[in-house]
Structures are given as C-alpha cells and as structure tokens.
C-alpha cells in the first residue's frame, strides 16, 4: 500500500475512495472497505482511503477527545492488510477545518485525488462548520463527474458497530464484545523499551511496550497473546495502568510478563492482543503484597490458556 502524507495538487490517476477516521478499523469499517474494493475492481480503479491525523476532536478539544483505539501506524497496518491500495493521511489543521464544503470537494477530492467513485458513512459531515453532508455530495456529483454512495450502519446482535461501542466495551472489561465488534481481539502495538526493572526484582520480568498515546481505552490486568517474537505468538500476563503501588506520576504503562520465555527483546516491535480481563488495577500496601498478587495473576493466566477461560471472564471485578 502506498501512503501519502498530503493531498496532491493534481491527481495522477482516477480513484475509488472512502473517507473516515477508521479508528480501530472495526467491522463497520471493514464492510465499507470490502464494498470499496469490490466497486474499484469493477471500474478498474485503485481502492483508496482518506483519513485524518490528528482526529478532529483531538485537534479542537484534546482533553475531551475520546481515547484512541489505534495509533496511526496500527491503522495503516490494518488497512494495508485488508487490501487498500492507497492511504491519504490529511493533516488536520485550522486551514483544513475552515475549508468550505465546495472547495473540499472541488480542490481535494476532484482535482487532487481524481475521485470517480466515492463511499461515505450515512452520517458523514465535512467542510467548515461540518456544513457538508451526503445530500451536497450527491447534488454536486453530476457537476464533478463522480458517483457517490452512502454506507448504512452495520449492526451485530442488534448493536450498532462503531468506535464508540468498542471503547465502551473495552472500558467495561467486555473484551469478548469488543472482539465481536472489531472482528478480532483488541490489540496494542509498540516497541519494547527499557523500563525500571521492578518486575525483574520482584521475580516477574516484564516487557515494557511503548504506547503511542498515554490514554488507553482499557485498564487492568489481562491475559494476553504477544505477536512479533517468533513464528508463534507468546502467551503472557499484562498490566496496563498507572502502577499506583510503585509510581505516583499517573502515567499509563503497558507491561507484559511472557510465560516460559526468557530472551532479550529490547527494540522489537510487538503486538499485544488482549484476550481476557482478570481484574482491575489496585494499590497495595507494600511490594510483598503486590508480588503475591502478581503470582496469582500469572497462575490465573496459565489456567486461562490451559482451558479455564469461562471462570475468568470477570469483567471489572476487583480481586
């Protein structure tokens, strides 16, 4: 997949395009991408995606914006794996936010990208003050020579698939529901970096995975599977939170104790899949109490992977 960081002044080829933030690339997004690629093949056009960085809500109100489900790198990797041929990453700025809807269509979509077939969500809004919508896109289609379609919402078991629904499920510790909406287990990717080695001192060495954003959509202790360290994924117990027993800074950290694994993996890029929430994060009176709880967490994780899943689907219950 080719990734473009700007919209060209003039298109090099006509495109089939869909537009969105694609946070998490859930099943609703996948349905859009499947339709995009199907129609692109029929017309002999490259299948392309336009997305935005940062998310507009992060740009205008960073303290109130929803937590991200995926970093830009994670999103691009998933889009590439699903067969998207081009991704145009638009830097969201005040200039872009002030662009009138007609200019957005004429200059960016038609002149810059050469859009011939366009797919948007049924609630898609664009341009200054979000004044543009599907009705305007359809009204202007004959003038600019493109075909436009709206994608209805996707539902699973009566639940509308959306990034918000995925966030809510993750925050509630309902990893099975999040996986249903995503079409895969939720995961976080990052590079293994040096930590403070407290886990090793306590007898449970951990891989410290650097996260692109400090605000994760879930917190707690989890049974996880780690990809990127060999031909097969490695099982582990993960802590994702602010570590209140040993750190007062309130900075979220993802640490994974890999089961039956002892290799130097600093600098490796890994993907951590969250399979089951064991408990909430807690503050303990001392390191001895914390160490005892970590031992219990590791034992529960082993039981989970040996077939004891049902007894461990405890959601947000504290230990």
In this structure, are residues 118 and 126 in contact, taking their beta carbons and an 8 Å threshold?
A: no
Q: Residue 193 CB: number of other CB atoms within 10 A?
A: 11
Give the list of residues 6+ apart from residue 70 with CB closer than 8 angstroms, or none: 23, 24, 25, 78
Cα distance between residue 176 and residue 180, in whole Å: 6
In this structure, are residues 218 and 174 in contact, taking their beta carbons and an 8 Å threshold?
A: no
pLDDT in 10s for each residue of the chain, 319 residues? 999 999 999 999 999 999 999 999 999 999 999 999 999 999 999 999 999 998 888 888 888 888 999 999 999 999 999 999 999 999 999 999 999 999 999 999 999 999 999 999 988 999 999 999 999 999 999 999 999 999 999 999 889 999 999 999 999 999 999 999 999 999 999 999 987 778 788 889 999 999 877 689 999 999 999 999 999 999 999 999 988 888 778 788 999 999 999 898 999 999 999 999 999 999 988 999 999 999 999 999 999 999 855 444 443 333 3
Query: pTM of the entire structure?
Result: 0.89
In this structure, are residues 138 and 118 in contact, taking their beta carbons and an 8 Å threshold?
A: no
Tell me whether residue 170 is in a domain.
no
Tell me whether residue 173 is in a domain.
no
Tell me whether residue 171 is in a domain.
no
Query: Which residue in this structure is represented by tokens 């970093």?
Result: 71
> Which CATH number covers residue 76?
3.40.50.620
> Which CATH number covers residue 240?
2.40.30.30
Tell me whether residue 128 is in a domain.
yes
Residues 149 and 203 in one domain: no
Tally of domains within the chain = 2
Q: Across the strands, what pairs with 28?
A: none
Helices 175-182, 163-171: inter-axial angle, 10-degree rounding: 160
- The residue range of the domain holding 204 is 185-312
Between CA 199 and CA 204, with CA 202 as vertex, the angle to 5 degrees is 55
Residues 40 and 135 in one domain: yes
Residues 217 and 80 in one domain: no
Tell me whether residue 136 is in a domain.
yes
Residues 218 and 149 in one domain: no
């Amino acid at each position: 997949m080719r990734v473009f960081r700007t919209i060209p002044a003039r298109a090099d080829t006509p495109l089939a395009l869909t537009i969105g933030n694609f946070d998490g690339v859930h099943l609703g997004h996948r349905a859009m991408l499947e339709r995009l690629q199907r129609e692109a093949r029929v017309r002999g056009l490259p299948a392309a995606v336009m997305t935005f960085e940062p998310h507009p809500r992060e740009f205008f109100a960073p303290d109130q914006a929803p937590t991200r489900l995926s970093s830009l790198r994670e999103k691009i990797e998933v889009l590439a794996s699903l067969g998207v041929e081009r991704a145009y990453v638009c830097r969201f700025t005040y200039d872009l936010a002030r662009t009138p809807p007609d200019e957005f269509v004429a200059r960016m979509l038609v002149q810059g990208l050469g859009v011939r077939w366009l797919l948007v969500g049924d609630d898609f809004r664009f341009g200054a003050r979000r004044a543009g919508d599907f009705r305007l896109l359809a009204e202007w289609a004959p003038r600019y020579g493109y075909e436009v379609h709206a994608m209805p919402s996707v539902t699973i078991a009566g639940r509308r698939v959306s990034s918000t629904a995925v966030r809510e499920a993750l925050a509630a510790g309902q990893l099975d529901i999040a996986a249903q909406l995503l079409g895969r287990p939720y995961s976080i990717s990052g590079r293994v970096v040096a930590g403070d080695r407290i886990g090793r001192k306590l007898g449970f060495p951990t891989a410290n995975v650097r996260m692109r954003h400090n605000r994760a959509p879930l917190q707690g202790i989890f049974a996880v599977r780690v990809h990127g360290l060999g031909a097969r994924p490695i099982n582990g117990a993960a802590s994702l939170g602010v570590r209140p027993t040993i750190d007062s800074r309130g900075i979220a950290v993802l640490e994974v104790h890999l089961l039956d694994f002892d290799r130097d993996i600093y600098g490796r890029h890994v993907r951590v899949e969250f399979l089951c929430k064991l408990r909430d994060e807690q503050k303990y009176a001392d390191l001895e109490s914390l160490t005892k709880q970590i031992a219990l967490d590791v034992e529960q994780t082993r039981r989970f992977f040996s077939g004891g899943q049902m007894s461990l689907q405890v959601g947000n219950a504290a230990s």
